[in-house]
Amino acid sequence: MNAVASLKGYDLGSRVVSYDESDAILYALCVGAQPGQLPLVYERDLHVLPTFGLGLGLWAVEEAGELGAYDRLKSLHAAQQLTVHAPFPRSGKIEMRAHVTDVWDKGSAATVDIAVECEQFTATYAIHLPGSGGWGGERAPSTPRVDLEDAPFRADTYIAANLPALYRLTGDLHPVHIDPEVSSGYGFERPILHGLCTLGIAARTVAEAAGAQPWELRELRARFAAPVLPDATLTVRAQASGTEVDFDARIDTTGVLSGGHASF
């Protein structure tokens, strides 16, 4: 059997991850929270953004990469899902469990789905593996597309040149976001922004379209359609039906997040 295909069902074990209020505030600032948004940046009444948990679960992605079935330095984050079960404490320790739920054959590539579960959330990280497909396995189901060309909600966020370096301090340490040699090996002209940072910005932003607070997020999914090079403006487009929001994100005319959906 293909080495990557054999990962399906693999138990990645458990991990206890700790954080404090400063970690949660740093994350909120990295995804665009403003100084006046006190519930996100002030420990007095702190609300932890649910997407903060996605960074806490990255140990499982690293654990899967260490198994040796593929070169983790050639992998890319393809899509993300998040279901929130309970609010995050302002600080503390969270015990997580993880396993490989699915492996999909895309012909010239493969996708590995890694699920992380804990009391607060369940997250699934879809990891794209170039050159690892072609064994005749099942293809991943397609996601319906929503046309957002005339979406009524739009919000712009400037992606500063130093944001990838800052976001690494949240624990997302893949060298493609800081090392020019590594990013060049991927075909990028310079280090790119973390997909989870782009998604965190979008999730925080589209809460407004639903008339909700960003910490009230309950469900989230999106695909990473293209890399984000810093020193550019990210435009999030959204349309809401009550507390359900369809969204995407673009840099100029290039879609960087597609198939986005959030529930609050």
Instruction: Indicate the pairing of strand 244-251 with strand 254-263.
Output: antiparallel
Does the annotation count 195 as an active-site position? yes
E strand or H helix that includes residue 238: strand 232-241
Task: State both tokens at 126.
Answer: 């879809």
Q: How far apart are CA 137 and CA 139, in angstroms?
A: 7
Residue of 1, 222, 185, 216 whose CA lies nearest to 87: 216
Does the annotation count 192 as an active-site position? yes
CB 131 within 8 A of CB 111: no
Q: How far apart are CA 114 and CA 59, in angstroms?
A: 11
Catalytic residue chosen out of the listed positions 77, 177, 194, 261: 177
Quickly tell me which residue has 């009550």 as its tokens: 242
Cα 172 to Cα 27, 130, 143, 175, 242: the distances in Å are 11, 21, 27, 9, 33
3-state helix, strand, coil in the chain (%, to 5): 25, 35, 40
Catalytic residue chosen out of the listed positions 23, 105, 113, 172: 172
Catalytic residue chosen out of the listed positions 32, 57, 65, 195: 195
Catalytic residue chosen out of the listed positions 25, 94, 159, 192: 192
Q: How far apart are CA 79 and CA 81, in angstroms?
A: 7
Q: Which residues are catalytic?
A: 172, 177, 192, 195
